[in-house]
Amino acid sequence: MRRWGDRKDAVRVRDLDAMHMLMPLFFLSRCDNEAYISERIDLTAINAYLEDIRDKDPEYKYNMFQIIVTAVLKAITLRPKMNRFIANKIMYERNTVSASFIIKKMFTDEAEEGIAFVYAKPEDTLESIHNEIKRQVMSNKDKSPEQKGEKDPTSAVMDVLCRLPHFVLKMIFALLRFLDRRGLVPDPLIETDPQRASVMFSNLGSIKLNSGYHHLSNWGTNSLFVIIGEKKLRPYYDAEGNITMKDSVDIGITVDERIGDGYYFAKTLRLIRKLLQDPSLLERPLGEEIEY
């Protein structure tokens, strides 16, 4: 039940220790509290798993990106502090678990971008997350020529705002920032805003770029950003110093360090690593606990 001090999208965290209660008062900006975590994933297990299920959906094949998205969503579901954010100097925990990413409609300089927003439930599995990503990606490809120019609600609103005089825009955005800090921005303006997801992804590997780190934003509530780089063969060394070339991918994670501590982040990463080393675990519901 919603209590005084809660937001429509989150509940206020009331059982904080003194340090985490005071941190938002000392360190005000999300962008000034970015912590960076890098991880290199051996893709041997993922490649073998994808080979086993390659015929499961011939129309829209399962891929590495979907596995990583599902693994991170499961980690957030099981590790709820990763679903927190700070707004107006107060710590909140979201009511939902979600992921967002940008869809490039065509790989050309002029092609527009769309926004995918996936809400995850505890009963979801890799299959249901795959189906939802497929639905959103295919909906852009399957549009008629008349529909191709249609925008998602957030983009449509931005197009309208850009037609206004600049001084009017400044006043509107001053009001929006005030409302944003308090969780009062009207839903039609932000229903597909990627900066309000539990985690935002960028699959740089799809455009042949290496992994890096993406900044967080003081707009919205996103506290976690995951960059996925290009798959490459890289050397791995065993205990005797022998080298084996393995298919791998680098992942860069940016997190608001105020929402947890180093141990919590490290244990969360250990869970993600476990899931990526055995993707069959993602066939179980996101809310089902596993040993790691």
pLDDT tens string 245-265: 999 999 999 999 999 999 999
Q: Tell me the Ramachandran region of residue 16: left when phi exceeds 0, alpha when psi lies from -120 to 50, beta otherwise.
A: beta
Q: Looking at the predicted structure, is the pLDDT value of residue 142 above 80? A: no
For CA atoms 81, 86, 89, 92, the dihedral sign is negative
The pLDDT value given to residue 145: 47
In this structure, are residues 192 and 154 in contact, taking their beta carbons and an 8 Å threshold?
Answer: yes
Q: Which residue has the higher pLDDT, 274 or 108?
A: 274
Highest mean pLDDT range out of 14-28, 161-175, 262-276? 262-276
Instruction: Output the pTM of the full model.
Output: 0.90
Taking CA atoms, 2 is separated from 5, 121, 221, in Å, by 9, 20, 19
Domain residues of the chain, as ranges? 10-139+194-283, 153-191
Mean pLDDT of 131-151: 71
Q: Looking at the predicted structure, is the pLDDT value of residue 150 above 80? A: no
The pLDDT value given to residue 188: 80
Q: Looking at the predicted structure, is the pLDDT value of residue 144 above 80? A: no
The pLDDT value given to residue 47: 97
Structure tokens at 37: 């975590």
Q: Looking at the predicted structure, is the pLDDT value of residue 141 above 70? A: no
Mean pLDDT of 181-209: 91
Tell me which DSSP letter residue 110 carries.
Answer: S
10-139+194-283 is classed CATH 3.50.50.60? no
Confidence of residue 154 (pLDDT cuts 50, 70, 90): low
In this structure, are residues 47 and 231 in contact, taking their beta carbons and an 8 Å threshold?
Answer: no
The pLDDT value given to residue 156: 73
pLDDT digits (tens, 9 = 90+) for 13-34: 999 999 999 999 999 999 999 9
Average pLDDT, the chain: 91
Q: Looking at the predicted structure, is the pLDDT value of residue 196 above 90? A: yes
Highest mean pLDDT range out of 140-144, 211-215, 271-275? 271-275
Give CA–CA dist 277/219, Å, rounded: 35
Q: Looking at the predicted structure, is the pLDDT value of residue 90 above 80? A: yes
Q: Which residue has the higher pLDDT, 230 or 106?
A: 230
- 30-34, 95-99, 157-161: least confidently modelled range: 157-161
Which residue's entry shows tokens 């051996």? 42
**Number of C-beta neighbours around residue 113 at 10 A:** 11
Confidence of residue 2 (pLDDT cuts 50, 70, 90): confident
Mean pLDDT of 5-16: 94
**Number of C-beta neighbours around residue 152 at 10 A:** 19
Q: Looking at the predicted structure, is the pLDDT value of residue 76 above 50? A: yes
